[in-house]
A and B are shown apart, each in its own frame.
Chain A
Amino acid sequence: MAVVSVLRKACAVNPLKMSQPIGGALAFMGLDNCMPVLHGSQGCTAFGLVLFVRHFREAIPLQTTAMNEVTTIMGGIDNIEQAILNIVKRAKPAIIGICSTGLTETKGDDVDGYLKLIRKKHPELDTLPIVYVSTPDYKDAFQDGWANAVTRIVQQLVEPAPKKIQNQVNILAGSHLSPGDIDEIREIVEDFGLSPIVLPDLSGSLDGHVPEDFSPTTLGGTKVDAVRSMGQSVVTLVLGEHMLSAAVEIGIKAEVPYTVFDRLLGLEANDRFIAFLSEVSGKPVPLKYRRQRSQLVDAMLDGHFFFGGKKIAIGAEPDLLWAISSLLAEMGCEIAVAVTTTLSPMLEKIPAKEVLVGDLEDMEMRAKGCDLLITHSHGRQMAERLAIPFLRMGLPIFDRLGAGHKLGVGYRGTRDLIFEIGNLFLANAHEAGPDTWAPLQEGGSGNGAQAAAH
């Protein structure tokens, strides 16, 4: 049980947090043939675009309504109309997703109202779904923007369906899951003979593949029709607590029950998931997963020597923080520092004394003496200053390859992550020297030796 504190300082230093609109935009990128748009100044889009390009190393479809000083004050209806018409003309998307920004929210643009007027004026847009989500930059964080966008997508698209398809299940994927994670989850679910609809599905759009032709919109991802048919599923699997409101929404619209899996990292968490799939499908657990489970148990046994008693500092969005801190605590580590971006019901469950809603400066100030730092790539300066091993997790990861394929789910993913982290501990093990056990001198040469060994 952690105490959750929100730091009261005026200046955020080395931000951990990213803003809601780009979280929303990334969720839209998990839809097939979609063009996400930020309703704001063109810089809002440019920053988000550069960030995702550097993380995924993929072309990123993201447009802007290009608001300026005058249009902001007059209201952005013309800009939204032009943006939609231009995008339809140039990119022919199957769906457009619009996120508001701090700028247009401060002005108070009524985008839902604008869209009604635009639709009246342009009947040719009747068949094009346009989903709008309110995501002010000055409120909440990336994970919230993602969750809000998915909630709006299902609210608008999912159709009521009295008849269910027996083996069809919905998977609502949180923003902490990589394209590689989604691939793994889909494979597991399909191995039980189930047919999953994953929303959002970054595994099709941002998994780094070389397509046959050029497309200005997303390539792959959840098809609009698939989203519409989510009401026919027998159950919704909620992967990450922040996807709960979208699951509730599907429940309201189409009476689909849901089950929350707040993490898929760790032995027990995956046991629960696999047992549930077995129950829903009525099929025994395939041999493949019995073997994978056994391998994970073995990895835990091999690894625990190096994890026990290690002090870890983590900076991550709530659901990722929950997943990784739980795994490490289960391996015998002490979560010495836990910093996050936004409030969430998961925070008080984090296995740490305190969880801070703060920034990387807060993390750095508290992380001295820790054995491992875990956060996104922006932790690199801190890791260098503190000379502590550093594992990159979360988004953005711009100074390593393969961020999109990083695996952090399932028995197999947990096993490999245990090896990866265990190897960091091994590579940085303190070797004993003749003075290791010498009594501390005034001014501490013992301290110096320890610091150098890090």
Chain B
Amino acid sequence: MAGLTTKVQEVFDEPGCDKNQGKSEKERKKGCTKQLQPGAAAGGCAFDGAKIALQPITDVAHLVHGPIACEGNSWDNRGAKSSGSRLYRTGFTTDINETDVVYGGEKRLFKAIKEILDKYDPPAVFVYQTCVTALIGDDIDALCKAASEKFGKPIIPVNAPGFVGSKNLGNKLAGEALLDHVIGTEEPEYTTPYDINIIGEYNLAGELWQVKPLLDELGVRILSCISGDARYHEVASSHRAKAAMMVCSKAMINIARKMDERYDIPFFEGSFYGISDMSDSLRQIAQLLVQKGAGPDLLERTENLIAREEARAWEMMAPYRERLAGKRVLLITGGVKSWSVVAALQEVGIEIVGTSVKKSTKEDKERIKELMGEDAHMFDDMTPREMYAMLKDARADIMLSGGRSQFIALKAKMPWLDINQERHHAYAGYDGMVALVREIDKALYNPVWEQARKPAPWEAAWQS
């Protein structure tokens, strides 16, 4: 656990994070996660975060070392899509019992790794630590090392037990596991001056595939996406990329920064959500690649593609602009999605009447202020009751949030749209923005609202 504590400290002390660097030495030691309030907390744990970040690697076995809760209650519940192997959707867990808790779970873990290799033969096994096995002192780092040597396959320890902190911390610890044990351990078959990494994109609902055809057209190769629709080999050889884009705000900044330091892969922070953000991202990819030696014609080709795609997207959205202008959205989501979605929605004339910034960084908040003006309604901690009241009083026309809060809107008989990781629609790139607008329109104009809001005839009679 000493190793883990050091790691957590290290992850908190992130030179790539402006917010962190603005803190005093003492504040920095405390880390960047707020102290959770018992009885009033929501959200996942570090293990959840690590799993979200790595599970999209499709061809490896993801083995959860712990009691049944950690995997049994949650497996196959995320929307990351794969173009190849489906092994990542298989739930593996040591499902430790009382005897293991007393005598230690290492033997069972070792056997479990062997069983997986024998039955499924994956290129690697990722072993996730959990609270109980961390507490009883199972040393997964040492065990994975021994297992790698014994079986001749990479066995990767992911040391992010739930109780060390939040989902965001888990994202970063997952990044550390890749940096320590995976990235740079294999070589690509060939390289091109157009090789990039996309970091922090999980291919939820297949969003990477809304972007990839455009990159393909430009001749830009995604050497590795970390970790959406990724193969182990791609991640292991990602250190040969020429440039990188960091997608999910600060969640995996440690990977981007350390790959820049170690392998000279410059990166920028971008988003695929919203038309102008998408275009900016393509531009920056092209610029970084040209700086690193790609043919300068890439810049012009990129501009041409952007012009074509933007025009196409605006044309497709034109019929919706009139229908959506002035509609008021309540946006409840975390971190990166807030500002990138805000910008995207404003592009079609939708008004944002409030957004949650609970998980957003200071930078995110600045971006939102830039977009929404100084009087932006940012809620640090909006209670469900407040959201309900806001919708019930029709101070918003629709709520966009994660699945858990959907019923606040639906029970107020107000439209709701899922923009979280379990969502079924893909909203990235130009096509994704059109899809988002179409979904909002579908939700707002569905005829059910009219009937659902009408009281039963006998109640109406009683009222009048």
Contact = CB atoms under 8 A, between A and B. Distances in A.
Contacts of A11: 63, 92-95, 111-113, 115-116
B75 interface: yes
Given A11-B92, A59-B411, A138-B97, A72 B163 contact: yes
A137 to B, nearest CB: 4
A43 B411 CA distance: 26
B90 to A, nearest CB: 6
> Of B66, B89, B101, which is in contact with the most chain A CB atoms at under 10 Å from its CB?
B101
B413 interface: yes
A329 to B, nearest CB: 28
A51 B37 contact: no
Q: What's the interface size class on B, roughly?
A: 35 or more
Interface stretch (B15-23, B275-283, B380-388): B380-388
Interface stretch (B131-139, B204-212, B293-301, B337-345): B131-139
B403 A41 contact: no
Interface in A215-238: 216
Interface stretch (B42-50, B188-196, B265-273): B42-50
A46 to B, nearest CB: 4
A106 B410 CA distance: 40
A58 B407 contact: yes
Given A17-B95, A103-B131, A44 B69 contact: yes
Contacts of A398: 77
> Of B48, B91, B98, B408, which is in contact with the most chain A CB atoms at under 10 Å from its CB?
B91
Interface string A105-147: 0110000000000000000000000000000111101000000
A102 B94 CA distance: 14
A168 interface: no
A287 interface: no
B460 to A, nearest CB: 15
A5 interface: no
B193 to A, nearest CB: 40
Nearest to B131: A103
Given A46-B48, A68-B164, A15 B37 contact: no
B92 A13 contact: yes
B72 A18 contact: yes
A80 B38 CA distance: 7
Contacts of B46: 43
Contacts of B388: 214
A101 interface: yes
A80 B37 CA distance: 11
Q: What's the interface size class on A, roughly?
A: 35 or more
B425 to A, nearest CB: 16
A137 B163 contact: no
B413 A138 contact: no
Contacts of B115: 9-11
Given A15-B93, A72-B135, A210-B411, A138 B385 contact: no
6 contacts: A11-B63, A13-B119, A40-B131, A68-B165, A69-B164, A137-B67
A47 B119 CA distance: 28
Interface string A31-72: 000000100111111111111011001111001111111001
B39 A51 contact: no
A42 B94 contact: no
Interface stretch (A83-91, A318-326, A446-454): A83-91
Contacts of A79: 38
B101 A106 contact: yes
> Of A42, A44, A86, A381, which is in contact with the most chain B CB atoms at under 10 Å from its CB?
A42
A50 B115 CA distance: 30
B39 A86 contact: yes
A102 B68 CA distance: 9
B45 A72 contact: no
B2 interface: no
B108 A10 contact: yes
A300 interface: no
Given A22-B73, A381-B76, A211 B411 contact: yes
A381 B90 CA distance: 9
A42 B43 contact: yes
Interface string B400-427: 0001110110111100000000100000
A43 B48 contact: yes
B451 to A, nearest CB: 12
Contacts of B229: none
A127 B270 CA distance: 54
> Of A11, A22, A86, which is in contact with the most chain B CB atoms at under 10 Å from its CB?
A11
B68 A50 contact: no
Contacts of B42: 42, 46, 49
Given A17-B72, A50-B77, A82-B37, 19 more contacts: A11-B115, A12-B93, A37-B39, A42-B45, A47-B44, A47-B48, A48-B73, A51-B77, A59-B405, A59-B407, A82-B39, A85-B39, A136-B67, A137-B69, A138-B98, A139-B97, A211-B411, A216-B385, A378-B76
B132 to A, nearest CB: 4
A351 interface: no
Contacts of B135: 72, 103, 106-107
B94 to A, nearest CB: 6
A84 B91 contact: no
A21 interface: yes
B408 to A, nearest CB: 7
B122 to A, nearest CB: 12
A424 to B, nearest CB: 23
Contacts of A14: 75, 90-91
B121 to A, nearest CB: 14
Given A47-B74, A59-B411, A72-B135, A19 B67 contact: yes
Contacts of B111: 10-11
A183 to B, nearest CB: 20
B77 A59 contact: no
A106 B132 contact: yes
Contact of B77 (A54, A57, A80, A216): A54
Contact of A106 (B90, B136, B405): B136
A22 B69 contact: yes
B310 interface: no
Interface in B70-115: 70-77, 86, 89-98, 100-101, 108-115
B307 interface: no
Interface string B324-350: 000000000000000000000000000
B233 to A, nearest CB: 24
Contacts of A17: 68, 72, 95
B162 interface: yes
B41 interface: yes
A80 B76 CA distance: 31
A205 to B, nearest CB: 13
B63 to A, nearest CB: 7
Nearest to A88: B39
A87 B39 CA distance: 6
A65 to B, nearest CB: 5
A60 B136 CA distance: 32
B164 A46 contact: no
A69 B163 contact: yes
A18 B41 contact: no
Contact of A381 (B89, B98, B404, B452): B89
A85 B39 CA distance: 8
A22 B73 CA distance: 9
Contacts of B410: 210
Given A19-B73, A43-B162, A54-B77, A86 B403 contact: no
Interface in B406-457: 407-408, 410-413, 422, 452
A41 B45 contact: yes
Contacts of B142: none
Contact of B403 (A50, A69, A210): A50
B63 A15 contact: no
A82 B116 CA distance: 43
Nearest to A209: B411
A15 B91 contact: yes
Contact of A51 (B43, B66, B74): B74
